[in-house]
Chains A and B, each alone.
Chain A
């Protein structure tokens, strides 16, 4: 009885809060409503839901004596990385000058890389705990939903962010809508800093991307409901019709605002990038032709387990492949996955990015990259360790449109830095310290620098090493 009564009153309260809220706000307003007032939203194209992220305080720090991978294929033995004011000030050999009055860390036997970047994550949109109430990654109610924005689903209290930071050295990540829809909506790029709001994590100045999906998922989700698309040819037809109507919209100065078409026009203008979930080689080739037909560019194919079959084509079109090291065989379009995928792409000079699409693998992108490298080595494709680090740093940043800001250790860039306690391409190494914009956001040597999300407070294992 007692429990039921409590439940009833809780429901009543909830109803009150949803219906009464706006009235309260209006009555609290000092400004009387005017009958002749015109109403206007912020015009399209102006910043909305803008980033409120500001770098946290840091101390000028230099790491000396470490092996440094700069993220662009360079390797320095006994190197120096000096950061101050949130930015990289200097990167160089043992003789690189550093001021006398700063924090100096001995990196002997350790390694420094740029902060690791995951181009394909659903953290926050499909958070832990993975309960139905938190499942916000696919607006699977229409085959094209370019109007939805992933940032409007992100739950900043997802404990997955802290695991990615502490175990994976992740400093930036792109949250994508899921792949149920042909056009899933806009992505958001985040700095991997704990925050009370999603705006507090948004990567300042990062461009938007739009998620697209080929193949099995859209045709299965909508075909099973008796709607188009139910085939791969249906997938292409719906995509093309949608692009054509976006082009009409772009050419019509009198058109009423349409959130979905604003996203699509952003793509046509080159302001919004395309991140395209696509497994099969033949489908990627079709998408490249569709992009030519409609006048846009694909930044990266995601998952792309058959990219190795068309490395030449991908190189020619300057498209990155964001891939796993060893996922295969879980669905028909992943049946031809091979571990040499990355190495074969590198052989053709095509852009490789190692991605996670997973709350666990995001904690080990360095390990996944190593497995892909070793597979190449066994067939005579020798890819340097420094290049392999580029797969999970600079190349990811490039395909996300933030390579001018982060993704490499270069003077003036954001001081997103990981100090590893050993070779980051070894299974036996872990991040020891992680800086984001020069602020020390994780230190394995100090338990109090381990972020604990609101959800974890008072729960078993709060603040545990994880």
Chain B
């Protein structure tokens, strides 16, 4: 199932502009002799060819079927894949997590929640963006983290090319936290979180079709604003199914409660995030057709809502027919996505465990997250019509320590230097016999 963006005109325009900005710099390139990974779960094609023109893929497949033309780059048998699509992340929202001045990922002192728009705060030259680009991630879903409310705000789809416009799709999804975090953010109980969520969606329903300053009542308690009038307005596209609703839930019961929301609000376009105990209700999730951005290697009962945690969660959900992407937010940093995917492949050799095949595992960090993000057919896949995001690797991309040798985003070959590579170059030796290190740059 592919979902194309079904946003208002403004969003479509932004997407078009994002594409239009690239061809000026994009090179037409034909990559030959590739171990070609399409990214859709199919097996790699030996001796494959990728043709990129005007920033887009025009062909990816066996050499025999490739159209002629364009400069040729011989991959010499290297893995050539679509760029990794990281979801969910906070890329571009913080320079240093613990340096609050540099961190825009949470606004717990603001009176706003659902109306917060991550796309307004992205810094395209954040070192995290540059570092993750050098790790082969070309696009990402980036989102605020919940502060004073169950609503984190509206996440964006970004590219990592470092140019002045990182936004591929603003306001691509709303995120809400249920479970323990939702309980804490709504007054102390899951029951309160459910009332707040439903009340908020009903306020939004009342605003459908209305323009001007939203006429609803804020939901607050003392100084704490759980939902302002503007937050209610921001939920209109959610309740009308035009904007995805990402629901963070881990416990089996919270997952079931999430799926049940569709009965009250049939238009909701739900995506589950986390879903540590998803394997316990995999058939229900599959039947509901709700995709999951799942924690890959969480295997500890780190909370009472994760008692059933196992690394086999994704494999078991996949077997049940659930569409599953690996959650980038569940590990130390998003550049570990290939490592997590590789670990899921390792599980296929472990008695009693459920893992993914290599092909499924790569799809779980490329086409599947792109698809869930509304970028199906556009990102995370090498197919005609997709964005020209292509990565050439120095080995098996799921194997430890493999890195890209070249990264193309929208057909533009990327500069892979960043703060870390500059430090690396400076400290290739410790020789200061002539001058201090500060002169070595």
- Interchain CB contact under 8 A, B430 and A348: yes
Across the interface, name the chain B residue whose C-beta is closest to A160.
Answer: B300
CB of A55 closer than 8 Å to a CB of B: no
Name the CB-closest residue of B to A334: B96
Residues from chain B with Cβ under 8 Å of A129 in the complex: 301-304, 306
CB neighbours (8 Å) of B398 from chain A are: 427
Residues 361 to 413 of chain A near chain B (Cβ within 8 Å): 361, 363-364, 367, 370-375, 377-379
10 smallest beta-carbon distances between A and B, as pairs: A374-B401, A427-B342, A460-B308, A331-B98, A370-B400, A461-B308, A465-B352, A128-B300, A465-B353, A466-B299
- Of the listed stretches B161-169, B232-240, B262-270, B331-339, chain A binds B331-339
- Is the CB–CB distance between A371 and B302 below 8 Å? no
B415 in contact (CB, < 8 A): no
Docked Cα-Cα span, A375 to B394, in Å, equals 12
At the interface with chain B, which of A90-98, A282-290, A291-299, A308-316? A308-316
A383 to B: closest C-beta gap in Å: 12
Interface size of B in residues (CB-CB distance below 8 Å): 55
Cα distance A39–B301 when bound, in Å? 45
19 contacts between A and B (CB under 8 A): A128-B302, A129-B306, A216-B98, A311-B430, A326-B332, A371-B339, A374-B403, A379-B424, A421-B349, A427-B345, A428-B345, A430-B349, A447-B352, A461-B309, A465-B311, A465-B351, A465-B352, A466-B309, A466-B311
A43 at interface by CB-CB < 8 Å: no
Residues of A within 8 A of B333 (CB): 326-328
11 additional A-B pairs beyond A329-B96, A340-B427, beta carbons within 8 Å, are A309-B427, A310-B430, A326-B335, A332-B99, A358-B332, A374-B401, A422-B349, A426-B400, A444-B351, A464-B308, A465-B351
Contact flags (1/0) for B164-177 with A, using CB distance below 8 Å? Answer: 00000000000000
Query: Cβ of B312 and Cβ of A379 under 8 Å apart?
Result: no
Q: Is A339 an interface residue (CB 8 A)?
A: yes
B-to-A contact residues, CB < 8 Å: 95-99, 127-128, 131, 252, 277, 280, 297-304, 306-312, 331-333, 335-336, 339, 342-343, 345-346, 349-353, 394, 398-403, 419-420, 423-424, 427-428, 430
Q: Are B96 and A335 neighbours in the complex by a CB distance under 8 Å?
A: yes
A360 at the interface (CB under 8 A from B): yes
B300 touches A465 (CB 8 A): no
The residue among A163, A364, A466 with the most chain B CB atoms within 10 A of its own CB is A466
The docked-state distance in angstroms from the alpha carbon of A359 to that of B342 is 19
How many Cβ-Cβ contacts under 8 Å join chain A to chain B? 157
A464 to B419, CA, bound (A): 43
CA distance A159 to B303 in the complex (A): 12
Total count of chain A residues near the partner, CB < 8 A: 64
A167 interface contact, C-beta 8 A: yes
**B350 contacts A465, C-beta separation under 8 Å:** yes
Q: Which residues of A contact B419 (CB under 8 A)?
A: 335-336
CB pair A328 B420 closer than 8 Å: yes
A344 to B424, CA, bound (A): 9
Tell me whether B96 and A460 are in contact (CB under 8 A).
no
- Name the A residues within 8 Å of B128 (CB-CB): 329
A430→B350 contact, CB < 8 A: yes
A338 B420 Cβ-Cβ under 8 A: yes
A226 within 8 A of B: no
Find chain B residues with CB under 8 A from A426 CB. Answer: 399-400
Cβ contacts under 8 Å, B403 to chain A: 374, 378
Given A374-B400, A464-B312, A465-B312, residue A329 in contact with residue B127 (CB < 8 A): yes
Residues of A within 8 A of B300 (CB): 128, 159-160, 163, 359-360
A336 — nearest CB in chain B belongs to which residue? B423
Q: By the criterion CB–CB under 8 Å, are B96 and A332 in contact?
A: yes
Cβ-closest chain A residue relative to B423: A338
Task: Give the distance to chain A from B41, nearest Cβ to Cβ, in Å.
Answer: 18
In the complex, chain A residues whose CB is within 8 Å of the CB of B430:
309-312, 348
Nearest chain B residue, comparing its CB with the CB of A374: B401
Which B residue's beta carbon lies closest to that of A348? B430
Pair A367/B339 contact, Cβ less than 8 Å: yes
Q: Is A21 an interface residue (CB 8 A)?
A: no
A460 & B277 in contact (Cβ 8 Å cutoff): yes
Instruction: List the B residue with the shortest CB-CB distance to A339.
Output: B420
CB neighbours of A459 from chain B (8 A) = 301, 307-308
Q: Are A330 and B399 in contact (CB under 8 A)?
A: no
Residue with the greatest number of chain B CB neighbours at <10 A, chosen from A425, A427, A445? A427
Query: A419-451 toward B: CB 8 Å interface, digit per residue (1/0)?
Result: 001100111111000000000000011010000
The minimal Cβ–Cβ distance linking B441 to chain A, given in whole angstroms, is 14
Residues of B within 8 A of A332 (CB): 96, 98-99
A56 at the interface (CB under 8 A from B): no
Given the complex of chains A and B, what is the CA–CA distance between A426 and B428 in angstroms? Answer: 27
In the assembled complex, which residues on chain B have CB atoms less than 8 Å from the CB atom of A271?
Answer: none
Whether A428 contacts B310 by the Cβ 8 Å rule is no
B405 nearest in chain A by CB position: A378
Bound together, the chains give a CA A37 to CA B201 distance in angstroms of: 75
Q: Which residues A112-133 have CB closer than 8 A to chain B?
A: 128-131
CB of A77 within 8 A of chain B?
no
Chain A residue at smallest Cβ distance from B99: A332
Q: Are B401 and A375 in contact (CB under 8 A)?
A: yes
Cross-chain contact A427 with B310 (CB below 8 angstroms): no
Q: A338-B420, A427-B343, A427-B346 are in contact. Are A460 and B312 (CB under 8 A)?
A: no
Shortest beta-carbon distance from A444 to chain B in Å: 6
Asked if B96 contacts A444 (CB within 8 A), the reply is: no
Please give, as numbers and ranges, the residues of chain B lying within 8 Å of A337 by CB-CB distance.
420
Are B99 and A331 interface neighbours, CB within 8 A?
yes
Closest to A376 in B: B401
Given A338-B420, A338-B424, A444-B350, A360 contacting B297 (CB threshold 8 A)? yes
CB neighbours (8 Å) of B98 from chain A are 216, 330-332
